[in-house]
Structure 1
Amino acid sequence: MRPARIATATARRLPALGTALLLALGPFAPPAHAGDTAPPPTTTVRHAGTAAPRALPVPKSPDTPRDPRPLAAESQGRPTAPTAGDTVGAAPSAGPARTARQLTACDPATFTGAAGATLVQRVRSAGLDCVNTLFTLTGTDAKGAFNEAQMVTVADALRDTAAAYPGGNSTSTGQLVLFLRAGYYVQWYHPDAVGPYGAGLRTAIRGGLDAFFAAPHSRDVSEANGATLAEAVTLIDSARENARYTGVVKRLLDGYTTGWTGSMAAAVGNTATVIERGFELPEFTAALQADPTFATSLASFVTRNAAGLTGSDPVTTVGIQIGNLVAVDGLRTQGRPIVKDLINRYPLVGATAPLTMNLLWFAEKKDAGNCSYYGTCDLPAKLVPLVLTSDHSCNPNLRIRSQSMTAGQNADTCTSLVGQDAFFHRVVKDGGPVADDRNTALEVVVFDDYYNYSLYAWEMYGIAVDNGGMYEEGNPAAAGNQARFIAHQADWLRPSFQIWNLNHEYTHYLDGRYDMYGDFDAGMTTPTVWWVEGLAEYVSYGYRGVHYDDAVTQAGKGSYPLSTLFDSTYDNADSTRIYNWGYLAVRYMLQSHPQDVDALLAAYRVGDWNGARTLLKTTIGTRYDADFATWLKACAADDCGSLPTDQAPLCTTADARQYDRNCRRDGVAAATGDYAYSFLRLPPGVQQLTITTSGGSGNADLYYNGPSWATTSSYQAKSTGPGTTESLTVTAPPSGWVYFSLHARQGFAGVTVTTTYN
């Protein structure tokens, strides 16, 4: 399932996505040959231009794992609700954090049917697991347990108990703290059921927290104290008393060392919530303005403990909150020098990257226009070689830059894209690139996982990262326009290797180059989403031979007539209609009405958007709706049919080695190590020659050598994937005789070879 593709006007001005598989030819010295000669075609390398990109987001997989390392962009969107009951338990033996739904339930009547001293006794005698289930109360149970009078009673009990707090949970202080946390949580989400909280509770909770944090044993550095302390720190934020307890936060930060582990480390980590959501409260900001030592405590906390940075540690979690200092007008003077120092002090890659990159996010997003002060104006360019340490060229026009892809993974990705090129052209039957399209080179950027994509891609490429990747088309008519697909590995599928959405997005590139005139915005002049996204789904699933379960399921529902799908846009359709139903519409049209598809693409390829629209809505209109409905029923039963056979005619010359403009030869064969040599004569002015192979058995590699016989040691371009499916597209080949061959890496037979040119 994929989210809507949209143009992003705010993306960094980067070059756009271009053709991957038009193989430029190098100046190799050919052996002697028969026939005419001509100089080899020149190689044209297109460098990054300045055209504005059309940034098209890729879907984020629902299977993307949640990474424990922080992302500043995510934290800015959090609600100000109290934290749920899934933090460290208050007893030393409580074990790992667990959510309320995972804990053993207890009877809410235990708490709703009691008041005063009886309520306090029941809370204190209940197990922590039982109290933690109270975060899920609703309705009358929520009212009975957590109305203000009940909360005041328990807060007063915390005050009285805390006076003799022993540094552990032997007096059940943890149950009292957790009950109060649950009350604030439930009241936030169900205020009408619970009722309002007022001054009485505020006075009581301050008394309880004051007493706890004043207790000498609340300062103990121990697992026993840390369990209850961690919950009490979170209660500060639940009660929105962040400003009152900045001194407690400083005390924890100033005392922390990397020797604090377990619950003590969790207690320090929980201060991040107090700090982060404190910035939403004017009184908290005022407290920090009045006490500049809070900012210096934050900075010292990071620099003292930097050796322990891992990305998932309390120092990183809390240190990132320093960035909020530059987001507040009254605190920016305090925050700027600290943020500048930390960004430039620690590496942007490795264990310190989650801290430095998140602080950089605050500097750029919340203190925009000051990159000179921070020394970060040239950072996007610097990051590319630091982060993308693998640089692999499939051929002169297809490049893969990644964090850590292996040689085998690079080779497999190249093979996948090269093979898809041939599959695509067989489906759409194009005659070469549309006019004015210069997207002749593709760069595929692959981060190790979604987290690294989110951490770096926003800065390196100026894109939104709340998605699963981004395809940048740019202005294909601009000289030097660079096409780029920014992606990440599907780490949830490991040990299998997969680049998320690679084939879907590559189809967008091919479709834009060979079917859609102009840039992405031009193609959206009229509703074309059914074709653009439907074709990408069709080619991706069809080429990979993957059964499209979701689309077949949707076919059984019969939700849309074909004529309605022709009207789909990113604004009026959800992801199911755009992708599942786009696939069904495209597949039906390709199989049942290929002549209409030919006419439609003829209009798209010259930018006749109105003519294409007339074909869909007037010429076709509703005429195919009934047949489409019948086809959907068959497809739901897993009988979706297949594309009509569309092969080039057989070549007619007597010499089995000779080919022509649009012809094929079947049954091509060679023994292991041998060649099947071939040639054809090109007239002057040929823009593009395409040679494809398919079918049969064995392993045949395709080599092209222009005006000389082609061998494994003398060639200008090659396609050497596994099996017999190969494709070469040569731009501006010489006129006269040109030569290609199939080399049998493993003996092959029954192979079909097709040549076309325009």
Structure 2
Amino acid sequence: MRPFRISKANARRLPALGAAFFIALGLFAPQAQAAPTSTPQAKSPAPAAKSAAPRAIPVPKSPDTPKDDRPLASDPQAKPTAPTAGSTVGAAKPSERTAKQFSAAANACDVSAFTGNTGAALVQQVKSAGLDCINTLYQLTGNDAKAAFNEAQMATVANALRDVSATYPGDNSTSAGQLVVFLRAGYYVQWYNPDVVGAYGTTLQTAIRGALDAFYAAPHSKDATDANGATLSEAVTLIDSAQENARYTGVVKRLLNDYNGTWPASMAGAVANTETVISRGFDLPAFTSALQADPSFATTMASFVTRNSAQLNGGDLVTKIGIQLGNYVANDALRAQGRPLVKDLINRYPLVGNTGPLTMNLLWFTEKKDAGNCSFYGTCDVPAKLVPLVLKTDHTCNANLRIRSQSMTAQQFADTCTSLVNQDAFFHKVVKDNGPVANDNNTSLEVVVFDDYYNYSLYAWEMYKIEVDNGGMYEEGNPATVGNQARFIAHQADWLRPSFQIWNLNHEYTHYLDGRYDMYGDFDAGMTTPTIWWVEGLAEYVSYSYRGVHYDAAVAQAGKGTYTLSTLFDSTYDNSDSTRVYNWGYLAVRYMLQSHPQDMDALLAKYRAGDWAGARTLLKTTIGTSYDADFATWLKACAADNCGTLPTSQAPLCKIADTRQFDKNCRRDGVAATTGNYSYSFLYLPAGVQQLTITTSGGTGNADLYYNGGAWATTGSYKAKSTNSGNGETLTIANPPAGWVYFSLFGQQDFSGVTVTTTYN
């Protein structure tokens, strides 16, 4: 990944790209049968898993990573003072609606009625329109935006809101809601189109202050009812849209003080919207000054959290508002007010569980914005405390490999160990090394697995002091240091559940092996000259080849012929996008290993000795452009799915007693049958399997391979077959059904000693 090998001495870190994966599933076996006269019962299928791989640098996490409602302080923020888009009550936000829906709403909403009216006519049009209609105005641009939302139009509507608020009845019977939403839409459109709409000045400021003053002075604006909350929610957000955050700190305090867990939903929504007023307010000097002058604002926020702590679950309004106290310690003028309150909350609530999002986000502020003061906060030992609190399951595969996780099962541990241990032999077969490079003491790897991307982001930054806006992180450290611990920090691919995957596992394990057996020294040493084509290309090559997964994206790129081989030798993280780094790195490595193995032996000898200049000379001078034409020819063949023969990885022997039953990634040797007879087999597939591969090889005679899904496979009943001469047969079944599936070898001639292997992903 970028970069893939890290020296802890200079704290460089690696964001891991999720191009490789491993699926480990608990399988169920049928009862042993004497003959194929009945069918094992399949388990009820689960929803099919969805696979994908991220394609972004330098944020290489899967695009399928689910968005979690719980906040992360490290999440990228929107434009600091940009008004919030869309009405939050009464209609969907524009960002949540399809273009077709907008088009339909626009057809029912005559924009000219807003752009072609002024004064009382405009006010009447706004008040009579539906909220759904007004929400479409957020999309206005050009002359329509100017005609609807110039300062005179906005001031007219603001004054109308002032007048309506004088007798506000606590519901929308007087159309206060429409007036508020129109004003919000105007601020939003003007923010993104200031040159078109024109500037907003004191005329509008005076009008909006009069409107908000009148609304919040209305007795019924304090009603704790759904009817009032619908309009109040919009009015709270309007405070921020108009950047009047400092003027209405009293309104925010009142809502926080009055709120209790029994309030109806829309009133709770109004309280939740105070987070927008608070968080964006910290970007406004006037807001900071108002908080300096009123220390009770901070204590109100803290009291709001402690009084409503029973609601804390990470995605709740109490958590989100409580986190905003962190902005106090991020602000030089407010830090003294915020420190004791933040300290109390961090030490009051557990670091894990429902309160974890609150405490970990506040901790983030203390470390990132008030660095060097962990003694004051009592948090210096938090990294060490978190490890046993978060990583509750621990498994040692062997003396060189340990896995720590939040919640992996015994079967998942075992399958992961098997995948990694078996990969060792495959890797060494590819690179043909003679053992570790000199002075490499990375004798063991620790694999850390969080339950999902959210937990990885919430905890890994503190536990391991890494960046977490990525799909994982591999830390090589300084391999020359005795006792150095290499570590891959990862997370489960929760979007693929119920299938179990550790995102990036085999790709990153290749980096560990490559660093130990091919690349002398630490990361900085390996980056002396461009080596990315090799280190990332090899990780892709081993990952896909070892798992027997067709690299669709790379084959598709081969057809484009974008790069020459000599150009790929120059790839760096800075001059390459993810496609060049990963897809084309794979293609370059595959071509060189298959077509020029002697050159690769010579190159790796130089890498292993740390002769970076010599390696560069070999690539750019000795080889230079001499292979470019042949590489281009090879790419055309590869695009037609004729990329050459990949190395094979012998799967482990199947362990189930019934010799007819297979499992994931296992083989049976010595399979035999006489002419005209069958060797029947079956295996259980969990839901979501995307590709099943059955291969036969070796032995004597001639066996043909038949597959028949959910019934016994014969020459007269099959869904797929492979009937080559001899015993070299392969069947690849896309999206096979969940449950028991069946295949058989038919004896065209007596056959014996055949090896049969099943793999799936």
Give TM-score, length-normalised by structure 1.
Answer: 0.78
The size of the alignment, in residue pairs, is 629
Q: Equivalent residue of 2:414, what SS?
A: helix
Q: Distance in 2 between matches of 1:11 and 1:258?
A: 49
Structure 1: which 5+ residue stretches go unaligned?
A: 18-55, 648-665, 675-692, 700-722, 726-747, 753-758
Residues 226-375 of structure 1 mapped to structure 2, 5 A cutoff: 226-375=229-378
Change (3 A) 1:143 1:196: same
Alignment of 1:67 with 2:53, yes or no, is no
- Which residue among 540, 547, 552 is the counterpart of 2:550? 547
Q: Distance in 1 between matches of 2:646 and 2:471?
A: 31
Following superposition, the deviation at residue 9 of structure 1 comes to: 7.4
Following superposition, the deviation at residue 642 of structure 1 comes to: 1.6
- Which residue among 496, 502, 513 is the counterpart of 2:516? 513
Following superposition, the deviation at residue 204 of structure 1 comes to: 0.9
More divergent stretch after superposition (625-634 vs 4-13): 4-13
* Partner residue in 1 for 2:96: 99
Residues 561-576 of structure 1 mapped to structure 2, 5 A cutoff: 561-576=564-579
Following superposition, the deviation at residue 261 of structure 1 comes to: 3.8
Q: Distance in 1 between matches of 2:6 and 2:111?
A: 51
Following superposition, the deviation at residue 640 of structure 1 comes to: 1.6
Q: Distance in 2 between matches of 1:670 and 1:195?
A: 75
More divergent stretch after superposition (188-197 vs 434-443): 188-197
* Partner residue in 2 for 1:411: 414
Q: Distance in 2 between matches of 1:393 and 1:645?
A: 27
Change (3 A) 1:77 1:606: farther
Alignment of 1:136 with 2:105, yes or no, is no
Change (3 A) 1:203 1:645: closer
Q: Distance in 2 between matches of 1:404 and 1:623?
A: 52
What is the CA deviation profile of residues 313-363 of structure 1, one whole-angstrom value per residue up to 9, with x for unaligned ones?
110010100111111112111111100100000000100011111111111
Following superposition, the deviation at residue 168 of structure 1 comes to: 1.4
Following superposition, the deviation at residue 87 of structure 1 comes to: 2.3
Change (3 A) 1:670 1:400: closer
AA matched with 2:60: P
Alignment of 1:438 with 2:441, yes or no, is yes
Change (3 A) 1:58 1:115: closer
* Partner residue in 1 for 2:85: 84
* Partner residue in 1 for 2:759: none
- Which residue among 515, 529, 533 is the counterpart of 1:530? 533
Q: Distance in 2 between matches of 1:57 and 1:521?
A: 18
Following superposition, the deviation at residue 396 of structure 1 comes to: 2.1
Q: Equivalent residue of 2:557, what SS?
A: helix
Following superposition, the deviation at residue 405 of structure 1 comes to: 0.9
Q: Is the 8 A contact 1:305 1:315 kept in 2?
A: yes
Change (3 A) 1:282 1:670: closer
* Partner residue in 1 for 2:739: none
Change (3 A) 1:645 1:76: closer
Q: Distance in 2 between matches of 1:234 and 1:168?
A: 17
Alignment of 1:396 with 2:396, yes or no, is no
AA matched with 1:99: E
Q: Distance in 2 between matches of 1:84 and 1:667?
A: 56
Q: Is the 8 A contact 1:100 1:135 kept in 2?
A: no
Residues 207-222 of structure 1 mapped to structure 2, 5 A cutoff: 207-222=210-225
Following superposition, the deviation at residue 79 of structure 1 comes to: 3.3
What is the CA deviation profile of residues 562-602 of structure 1, one whole-angstrom value per residue up to 9, with x for unaligned ones?
11000000111111111111111111111111111111111
Residues 347-746 of structure 1 mapped to structure 2, 5 A cutoff: 347-643=350-646, 697=669
Q: Distance in 1 between matches of 2:59 and 2:515?
A: 16
Q: Distance in 2 between matches of 1:698 and 1:263?
A: 70
State the Cα RMSD in Å: 3.1
Q: Equivalent residue of 1:377, what SS?
A: coil
Q: Is the 8 A contact 1:311 1:352 kept in 2?
A: yes
Q: Is the 8 A contact 1:4 1:57 kept in 2?
A: no
Following superposition, the deviation at residue 305 of structure 1 comes to: 0.4
Percent identity for Structure 1 against Structure 2 = 75
What is the CA deviation profile of residues 68-123 of structure 1, one whole-angstrom value per residue up to 9, with x for unaligned ones?
1011122667532111115233xxxx589973545533332221121111111111
Q: Distance in 1 between matches of 2:581 and 2:342?
A: 43
Q: Is the 8 A contact 1:11 1:462 kept in 2?
A: no
AA matched with 1:437: D
Q: Is the 8 A contact 2:5 2:515 kept in 1?
A: no
Change (3 A) 1:152 1:479: same
* Partner residue in 2 for 1:39: none
Q: Is the 8 A contact 1:57 1:470 kept in 2?
A: no
Q: Is the 8 A contact 2:292 2:334 kept in 1?
A: yes
Q: Equivalent residue of 1:697, what SS?
A: strand
Give TM-score, length-normalised by structure 2.
Answer: 0.78
Q: Is the 8 A contact 2:224 2:264 kept in 1?
A: no
Q: Is the 8 A contact 1:6 1:57 kept in 2?
A: no
Q: Is the 8 A contact 1:58 1:470 kept in 2?
A: no
Q: Distance in 2 between matches of 1:195 and 1:466?
A: 38
Structure 2: which 5+ residue stretches go unaligned?
A: 17-56, 660-664, 672-693, 697-751, 757-761
What is the CA deviation profile of residues 535-559 of structure 1, one whole-angstrom value per residue up to 9, with x for unaligned ones?
1111111111222222122112111
Q: Equivalent residue of 1:260, what SS?
A: coil
Change (3 A) 1:58 1:443: farther
